[in-house]
Amino acid sequence: MRSRDRARAGPLAVLLVVAVCLGLNAAVLPAARASSYPTVPLGLDRWFVSDLTGAEVSPGGGGTISFTVGDPLTGLSISSTVLTLQVYAFNAFPGNATSTLGVSSAPVLVASTVSGLSVNESLGTVEANQTVAGSVAVQTSATTPSGTFAVRTALRFVAGGVDYLLESRGWFTSAQWAAATAGPNGSVDLNVSALGVSGVVPETSVLVSSSNLSTAIYAVLGAGVVLVGIAAWLYFRPPKSSSGVRNAPEETQAPSAFGNKRTRDGD
């Protein structure tokens, strides 16, 4: 069992748009398979995939998703390392979400040897406590619609002769995630064994926007930042009583490329 605090990274504009997309729907996904994948040591799964960025592109343009894959296993290298990135869901601006990808001209991911909605980037062997940086290109067409395309990730490798698999939140349905995060007495913990994986890694997104759309988005986000600032001041100001400092509530939703709140299976 473990806390579900998961690190994520990306360009500021993409992250802000992801925040605006809280509560939007994503794809209906197949059930996670039962497996015997061993779990990685507590707290280490977040270090396997880090510095994961998003991309912001215009229709017909291109961008880059970059990442870092590391081996936090002391004294044990990982080999046959493969990172999978897959475009799996779409939210049209200004929020008319689709339940499946359903876009004929979705962004294409371009890896070193293959391109498509899903690519595998082979990284070979990563030595203990070392990292390998990589990237995949993103290419759109002139007919790619404006909106946010979610990109889920998965990492496979072999360590000590054993196969490991880590996946992002987007590979699991809401029911699967709820079953894996139900702790005792209503607490929220993450049992990755119940998901059939070794750990959970972050995911990202591709924001497709025209220049006019970008202007509108930044205007909305600017107003949102002001509201967030006011809310933060109200929350963190000293309490009037002497009963002590209030604790920040623990997250109860899984981070995803569309934010923390999910509304449908596969979100």
| CA–CA dist 267, 263 (Å, integer) | 6
Condensed to tens digits (0 to 9), the pLDDT of residues 195-253 reads 999 999 999 999 999 765 444 544 444 444 444 444 443 444 444 433 333 333 344 34
| CA–CA dist 130, 79 (Å, integer) | 12
CB 109 within 8 A of CB 137: yes
The structure tokens listed for 197 are 């994986």
Q: Could you tell me which residue, 26 or 42, shows the higher pLDDT?
A: 42
**pTM passes above 0.75:** no
The owner of tokens 């005792």 is 184
Give the residue extent of every domain in the chain: 12-236
Q: 7 pLDDT exceeds 80?
A: no
With H, G, I as helix, E, B as strand and everything else as coil, classify residue 95.
Answer: coil
CB 164 within 8 A of CB 156: yes
Q: What secondary structure letter does DSSP report for 23? A: T
pLDDT band at 95 (very low <50, low <70, confident <90, very high): low
Instruction: Decide yes or no: CATH 2.60.40.10 for domain 12-236.
Output: yes
pLDDT, average across residues 166-192: 86
Q: 55 pLDDT exceeds 60?
A: yes
pLDDT band at 106 (very low <50, low <70, confident <90, very high): very high
